[in-house]
Structure 1
């Protein structure tokens, strides 16, 4: 659902959404954006089929449910591969103009850094959405599962910190300057280090709803900061103007988020996403094929 909402936002952000079909017939395999476009379309299709399963269960279309169960492993592999290509290619997209970027982020390792941070962000979003959904529907959070996700999130963030630190050292980047870009760089690194250490060492934090919610929120903020740094801060020395979202951009963004929450709530209310559970009241179901 979040990805479909993202697609709606992309239509608005493109400026010329009526050309969204061009990559389908106007192929340019040497273009990074061409690969991103195809990954987005195919990945959205896979996610759409995954959600469609719940509708089939609701309609009791057993034949189709059995069919999707038989190919579900293929869908999982396709989803993992497409999302991996998508996230890494988004990073490579910024290397089209490396001479205009700050040395802090103009690195050939940007693709793997994008991928690693995206994995951490995905775990954080799952954790936060699960907690919010449990509260909204009056169910008990699956603390055991979410605690494992939090541990994984911490491990991935420490990997990001190590990769980023090794990258700037190997490239001989001067990180000891007092300006806005370097301050944001250190903030990005500090959050990654501290949050990963806390998540890996504090079992009390990983097993409490408040701790999980705060750590997931902090991780989401961190991922947003990494993207902000690459897309805006890295070009601060080249730009002669500042950017702040316009009122219409803010309204569209807030509206899309609100729409996503509304649709998710309706789906949880009318589709067989939840099922009774003896100890927690209800748990989030796996797809029909799982």
Structure 2
């Protein structure tokens, strides 16, 4: 008698959960979404990301982008599978209102969305554009912090994080002043004619050669680049390895301070390398007055 009662109760309950009722549809939708999404997150994503990291050890941009796009693909696939399992695909595809909303959305926002998506894909696949690069475009420059699905985040020289649409970067000329393995510093120094030119050149060369931050291959170069009205113009050339804006500025700042200190000790006065504006009043008097 008890077994008959259990079967009588279990029959409707099983039909309610596994049939075509609202509860059955909702159960199928939730279970399918959980299975597909969980399988994607636990099995598919780790396997794919392990392979991507192995092939792109020095390219965090590709790793981060693949991780993001793969997660989005898993979510979309889980939602689609859940809707199919719950029997809601016909409702969506057959609804005139749904089709109209989707068409309107694609028509209005499709161009911008596709533009940012394509821009992001171009940036991700560009081996010369990576997180950590110092870039400049237009009147803005800074270090790339992250490359997202829609925008790229850049830290400016004022230590501000700005979000730049990917389309802006792909449609403008991007300069990477510190993107190579070394960067050349090119500065000019003026030496008055009454000062010792050879001693000044020796100081400039010594401070460059003895600086561990300055490369010895190629060697630093000090040469006369021209003559001004009251001084000789010297050109200072040396190279910095693994350059960033900070390392370049710090290296030259330290070098300039050392050169200035040694020149002061040797009583050598360095001159200006650009025109100097003079100001004042000029009074004329007629002879005999």
Same fold flag (TM > 0.5): no
Higher-Rg structure is: 2
Higher relative contact order structure (alpha carbons within 8 Å, sequence separation ≥ 6) = 1
Q: TM-score, normalised by structure 1?
A: 0.20
Structure (1/2) with the larger strand percentage:
2
Tell me the TM-score normalized by structure 2: 0.20
